[in-house]
Amino acid sequence: MPSNARRNSKPKKEMSKEKTQMGPSSGAAFVQTQTSPLPSRCAVSARLAQQAEHAHQQEQQRAVVALTPRDDEPNLFNIPSIISPIYRPVPLWLNFVIGTASLAVVGRNIISSLIQSLQLEWTTKKIISLLLRYVVLWSVARIVVQEGFYCPSRVTSQYLADTGSLPSILSSYETITPISVGGSQSIPIGVHYLKYTSKTSTNKKYAAIQFHHGFGASSLSWLPILPSLTDRLSDVSVAHDAPGFGFTARPNADTVEGLAQYRSNNSVGIGLALLQNSINKNSEERQGENDMKEIVIFGHSMGAKAALLTALACSSDKKLKMHPGLVVLVAPALEGITLPTRSRKKPMAELPNKLNGVRRWLASFWISWRKLFLDWPFQYLLRRLVGTRNFWRKGLSQAWGDAQRLSDSDVLRFQWPSIGKGWERGLISFARSIQSSDDADLLRQVANLANTTVLVVYGSKDNVVRVNEKVLDLLKNDFRMVKVLRMEGLGHDPFEEDKDMFLDMITS
């Protein structure tokens, strides 16, 4: 027997004798002679903390196990079964209970009359009135029950990150401080983004690729081509969710600072911060020089403006040490080119810090009125609409050039963000933040940058942003430095509809 075991193994009789010799006044001595002292409060707290940590780890493991990758798109996970992105149907038995209760409430006067006099005069007006009241009450009661117990799931981005349940193996969620662009403030914000590092060791022409998504989409839109495009062109690529979309945090848009975070300048600042961090990390790992890095910038639809702003920011701020070698605008939604120029006044600042007294009270009243009669009803309508089973499939079928190409994975990439808590509010906040701009001038400035190639790619069957003969003539006459590429038979999302064709067109 080991010596320390022998020292701790006293005979039971001897231990008992020690205890009986200790009186009530010798409590301290009694504790010292105990071989197994009672655990202290600190020890109990530590044990409880360990148990809680173990339970949290098990919960994370269960969440990770619940995430299954798609067979046709390994980088995309299925939504966990415990989370429902749509409204679930009310069970038949509960519908029967609701219908019976509604009929009893509506027909209580009729039942009372029958009990009292055993006769009732039926008229067409009474029958119609009874049916209308019954249908309205049953519908309202059913909606209330569905909203309370069978509504779509809503989870925070932080919850998804903590439980390892983000939508892609390439996903990350962290707080990013945007780089100031065009006077925007650098306010830290939680950002969901995709990052992919090339698995090929050959020397690449570009150091990194930045992707900007379109309206109603997220960084997941770029998932089908992001790895392949990176392996062919660059060392690393990043694509983030713009504020108001996907799983990026949604600031309070009732203040000047909060509303400004939804604008394109702030999204560009987020992208530049992510791009700079990724390039610097790669340079440190490869012990590269801190010289100017050539980058590629992609922008789809609404994201085309963000791509142009990114290119201009890189060219004007030499501290970034990034040069836009290639700018690709896919189905660009640009005012003055593919979209009509519109005049929009600067949006109301909602709650400026400088307001006080009556003006501040009026601003607060306007915010309350707007939320009550505009924001909340519209958010609920969005929730009901997007929560229907086939919403995304029907909508995307209109955007695709050939609806037969639309796969379940295509639908899933758009459906994932709808489980995010407050996505409806974020969409409305973004819409309120939009300001009119001279996008044609932005394109002209980028096209005139030295050693910068600008490509405009569009699908011949794009029904969302139409590139017609008038647009083509404008690009040909006023933007001769811009190269236009047409993808036959494809719609608004050509890089999702035919990945191989898009890759060959860009890299050839």
Give the burial class of 373: count Cβ atoms within 10 A of its Cβ; 0-12 exposed, 13-18 middle, 19 or more buried: exposed
Task: Kindly tell me if the per-residue pLDDT of 195 is higher than 50.
Answer: yes
Averaged pLDDT, 360-382: 89
pLDDT at res. 286: 56
Of 378, 394, 182, which is closest to residue 267 (Cα–Cα)?
182
Give the burial class of 497: count Cβ atoms within 10 A of its Cβ; 0-12 exposed, 13-18 middle, 19 or more buried: buried
Averaged pLDDT, 75-100: 94
pLDDT at res. 154: 94
Averaged pLDDT, 450-474: 95
Categorize the per-residue pLDDT at 183 as very low, low, confident or very high, splitting at 50, 70 and 90: confident
Categorize the per-residue pLDDT at 256 as very low, low, confident or very high, splitting at 50, 70 and 90: confident
Task: Kindly tell me if the per-residue pLDDT of 261 is higher than 70.
Answer: yes
Task: Kindly tell me if the per-residue pLDDT of 61 is higher than 50.
Answer: no
pLDDT at res. 127: 81
Q: Which of 30-39, 248-257, 429-438 has the lowest mean pLDDT?
A: 30-39
Averaged pLDDT, 289-297: 84
- pLDDT 10s digits, 479-488: 999 999 999 9
Averaged pLDDT, 425-435: 92
pLDDT at res. 50: 64
Averaged pLDDT, 428-453: 93
Which residues make Cβ contacts (< 8 Å) with residue 424, sequence separation at least 6?
378, 379, 382, 383
Higher pLDDT, 456 or 19: 456
Task: Kindly tell me if the per-residue pLDDT of 295 is higher than 80.
Answer: yes
Averaged pLDDT, 389-403: 95
pLDDT at res. 53: 59
Task: Kindly tell me if the per-residue pLDDT of 46 is higher than 70.
Answer: no
Q: d(Cα 452, Cα 448) in Å, to the nearest integer?
A: 8
Q: Which of 30-39, 77-86, 381-390 has the lowest mean pLDDT?
A: 30-39
- Average pLDDT score, the chain: 84
pLDDT at res. 297: 98
Averaged pLDDT, 195-224: 93
Q: d(Cα 131, Cα 153) in Å, to the nearest integer?
A: 34
pLDDT at res. 437: 86
Q: d(Cα 459, Cα 356) in Å, to the nearest integer?
A: 52
Task: Kindly tell me if the per-residue pLDDT of 29 is higher than 50.
Answer: no
pLDDT at res. 385: 95
Higher pLDDT, 459 or 288: 459
Of 244, 292, 290, which is closest to residue 264 (Cα–Cα)?
244
What percentage of the chain exceeds 70 in pLDDT? 80
pLDDT at res. 60: 46
Is 443:334 a contact under the CB 8 Å cutoff?
yes
Q: d(Cα 489, Cα 402) in Å, to the nearest integer?
A: 7
Categorize the per-residue pLDDT at 11 as very low, low, confident or very high, splitting at 50, 70 and 90: very low
Please state the φ and ψ torsions of residue 101, each to the nearest 5 degrees: -65, -40
Averaged pLDDT, 149-154: 95
Residue whose structure tokens are 């990043």: 238
pLDDT at res. 14: 42
Q: 298 - beta bridge partners?
A: 211, 328
Q: Which of 14-23, 73-82, 200-209, 324-333 has the lowest mean pLDDT?
A: 14-23
For residue 27, give the amino acid letter.
G
- pLDDT 10s digits, 318-350: 899 999 999 999 999 999 999 988 765 554 444
Separation in Å, CA 169 to CA 74, 75, 248, 264: 9, 6, 17, 27
Query: What's the CA angle centered on 420, arms 384 and 465, to 5 degrees?
Result: 70
Averaged pLDDT, 313-318: 92
Averaged pLDDT, 42-63: 54
- The verdict on pTM exceeding 0.85 is no
